[in-house]
Structure 1
């Protein structure tokens, strides 16, 4: 499948207010890395919600994994969502569960047996550098540690697409580099990665990444063509 996502003239309106997104058209290639940029209020989070099927558009066509996501019956949505990993800006970890149990949650929801959960959870903890924090509860973890647990939870099911909303917004520059390295490693394994950010410094850190810039709910290029981010001289 050449394209994992296709948007055609998509619009999104909340209630009776003005459109948050207007005539948005683009495609995402399978296995590529994308930065979604734009000023605060440009519509980045709303576009991500459409990507991970938390919201349906007001108008337009959205195709995910080759299928129409707009008219898809609701009983098929949970299975589709399991093909997409999501890293939320506010982490959304369950405070009374350990780091390991937070990571294991998607597997348990999917019905994976307990005997098959322990090994992948250990692997994810090692991958994000938190093997020694398996039993820690989220309130005892730093912001960067919580973010890494959220990332591990998002990718433990080996999603075909990973969507991350401002994943480096609450961490220092060194941790931001580490998180981006995790995303890049996942991308090299074949996962399509979409990272929303307002930090233009990030765009120089992933060679070969593409950039889409939202401006007041619109993509300035109506064809949705991709632009490479600026490189350091």
Structure 2
């Protein structure tokens, strides 16, 4: 298992828990959709997955390492194995679309020739080859979303966490992006996508739906979510 949650709870400050007694596992190479009504805690759960938030209680194990006993110095290496598509994009405004997408590879120290090849391919995948030189403030919301997705997947992360990645694109582009996520998943990346688009879930084969209700993870029948059964 690439992720394990054991009796995990999360509260902000002194308020009530927004996530309560989470108990589930994500299989390596699995494809998951995280659903649930607004306010159910989807974004908070994603923050736990990509290490932006620590749980108030319980244990999270990521890549075989319990986070509660992990040295702070070890966190950057774990974070580099995670790709994140934020709902608010978080692009760097003074960099071009090309440089935003290339940034993770530059930080990792890849050769510029390899970076150029990978970045141009990714921009082509998300339909933005002709907008490579544009800066985020001049891009539409949908274009910014596609740049954010390309940046998140360019390094082929072990775990991809996406918060409403198709929320600002049309249906055709949503299917194209899901094809990209599916291709990445087939290469071995575990993919977790938070979405309200039930139709999108229905069109995706081999995926498992995890539903959040009132801060707890349940499957469609109300039982705790189980890891997916992968075809041999």
* Matching residue of 1:231: none
- State whether structure 2 residue 210 is matched by structure 1 residue 209: no
Question: Following TM superposition, by how much is the alpha carbon of 1:120 offset from its aligned partner in structure 2, in angstroms?
Answer: 1.7
* Matching residue of 2:167: 169
1:118 to 111, 116, 119: 116
With structure 2 as the length reference, what TM-score do the two structures score? Answer: 0.91
Alignment of 1:88-127 (within 5 A): 88-127=86-125
Question: Following TM superposition, by how much is the alpha carbon of 1:6 offset from its aligned partner in structure 2, in angstroms?
Answer: 0.6
Question: Following TM superposition, by how much is the alpha carbon of 1:113 offset from its aligned partner in structure 2, in angstroms?
Answer: 4.2
Does structure 2 conserve the Cα–Cα contact (< 8 Å) formed by 1:57 and 1:70?
no
2:12 to 1, 11, 14: 14
- State whether structure 2 residue 198 is matched by structure 1 residue 200: yes
Does structure 1 conserve the Cα–Cα contact (< 8 Å) formed by 2:27 and 2:227?
no
* Matching residue of 1:225: 226
CA distance in 2, matches of 1:116, 1:172: 31
CA distance in 1, matches of 2:227, 2:49: 17
Alignment of 1:1-233 (within 5 A): 3-220=1-218, 223-226=224-227
- Residue deviations 1:8-50, cap 9 Å, x none? 1100011000001000011111111100000000000000000
CA distance in 1, matches of 2:166, 2:16: 30
- Residue deviations 1:74-120, cap 9 Å, x none? 11111100100000011111111101100111122223343442222
Does structure 2 conserve the Cα–Cα contact (< 8 Å) formed by 1:84 and 1:160?
yes
Does structure 1 conserve the Cα–Cα contact (< 8 Å) formed by 2:31 and 2:185?
yes
* Structure 2: runs of 5+ lacking an equivalent: none
CA distance in 2, matches of 1:42, 1:226: 20
CA RMSD of aligned residues (A): 1.7
* Structure 1: runs of 5+ lacking an equivalent: 229-233
Does structure 2 conserve the Cα–Cα contact (< 8 Å) formed by 1:211 and 1:226?
no
Question: Following TM superposition, by how much is the alpha carbon of 1:227 offset from its aligned partner in structure 2, in angstroms?
Answer: 7.6
Does structure 2 conserve the Cα–Cα contact (< 8 Å) formed by 1:24 and 1:222?
no
1:214 alignment partner, SS class: strand
Q: 37-46 or 108-117: which moved more?
A: 108-117
**May I ask how many residue pairs the two structures share in their alignment?**
226
2:101 alignment partner, SS class: helix
Does structure 1 conserve the Cα–Cα contact (< 8 Å) formed by 2:30 and 2:228?
no
Q: 120-129 or 100-109: which moved more?
A: 120-129
1:111 alignment partner, SS class: coil
